[in-house]
Amino acid sequence: MIQVKIEVIGGGSIGLLLAAKLGPLSRLKISVRTEEQSRRIRDEGIGYLPMERNPQTVRVDDSVFGQQVGLTDREGFAADWILLTVKQKDITPELCKKLAVRMGRSTRLLCFQNGLGHAERLSQSVPKERIWLAVTTEAARRESQAVVRHTGVGYTILGKAFPDTTFAGDTSAIEELSALLDAAGLSNEVRPNIFTSVWEKLIINAVINPLTAVLRVPNGMLLEHPMRLGLMKELYQESALVAEAYGYRLPDNFWERIVKVCQATSANRSSMLQDVEMGRETEIAWINGAILEKAREKSLKLPVTESIVRIMQAIDPWKKSDEHGDASLV
């Protein structure tokens, strides 16, 4: 049986988790931002800390993203699938150009970003028909540059970023990848239209993440004060209004689902909160900011969303990503 060739780009929590889970079952390499992280992975392997089993060490090939000139590295590696796990803010024009160089004749790109707009930016350099989206609820925490802890078992939805496009071998390629994810213990489903799932995760993030960042509290503490709960519900109602304006009606119990997510992840510190605490640029522009842009296109007013975006922009010490000279794979 021919192994699927995978390149994971990004050495954050999800990138390390995917590499650790898929590495033993595929021919896999991980490309990271710094030489230091690459060396740690090369020397130590990826330390994988499962939820209920003993720690494991997974050996994979490694490289520093962008150092190679041309498509293949020293071993002639051209991936069947590139799994892009960097944050939205890191998808710069420079990163897109480097990705285009990485794409072989049959390489497909699977994007694990939160928010909206990344597929369109990537399509400026990568053919639309090769871009796929992944919406995942798998939870992980990077303990160090080469160690990842699996903190929550979730589910992953896969689908084409541009459903009206086709690329030769699409059906067999996605079936092969889905089977690989299943074999690695990553439950998944392929859907012909992924965008309802995209909006659902976007709204969960838009309701929880910025409030935890502003209030500097873990997820569960949002539920412990009526004023916080009220702000959550207003952000939800505004976001749902925009989703419906674009034809995506949320399930009737979606508010209850958001509350359950907060309860199930009560001790988690959201990625946006962690970014604020570490002095890093947040993803507010691609989560609540993206919802606000979509609302303006439909002449909808979102006063609470607009306020939270302005507050987060006041907190955020960074310039916007399109002003950066290069990608930051974190």
What values do phi and psi take at 304, rounded to 5?
-70, -45
Per-residue pLDDT tens over the stretch 105-141 = 999 999 999 999 999 999 999 999 999 999 999 989 8
Task: Extract the tokens encoding 59.
Answer: 């050996």
Q: What mean pLDDT is reported for the chain?
A: 90
Per-residue pLDDT tens over the stretch 245-292 = 999 999 999 999 999 999 988 888 898 998 999 898 999 999 999 999
Report domain extents, the chain. 5-193, 196-323
pTM of the model: 0.89
Task: Extract the tokens encoding 172.
Answer: 């067999």
Q: How confident is the model at residue 321 (pLDDT cuts 50, 70, 90)?
A: very low
Supply the pLDDT for residue 325: 30
Percent of the chain at pLDDT > 90 equals 81
Distance CA 216, CA 209 (A): 10
Q: Residue 83: which H helix or E strand, with range?
A: strand 81-84
Q: Bridge partners of 58?
A: 46
SS3 46: strand
Q: How confident is the model at residue 330 (pLDDT cuts 50, 70, 90)?
A: very low
SS3 4: coil
Q: Which CATH class is domain 196-323?
A: mainly alpha
Q: How confident is the model at residue 219 (pLDDT cuts 50, 70, 90)?
A: very high
Residue 41 pLDDT exceeds 80: yes
Residue 169 pLDDT exceeds 50: yes
Q: Which of 196, 173, 188 is nearest to 254 (CA)?
A: 196
Distance CA 195, CA 253 (A): 18
Residue 18 pLDDT exceeds 80: yes
Supply the pLDDT for residue 52: 81
**DSSP code of 266?**
T
Q: Which fold has domain 5-193?
A: Rossmann fold (3.40.50)
More confident call, 241 vs 329: 241
Distance CA 11, CA 35 (A): 12
Residue 142 pLDDT exceeds 60: yes
SS3 175: helix
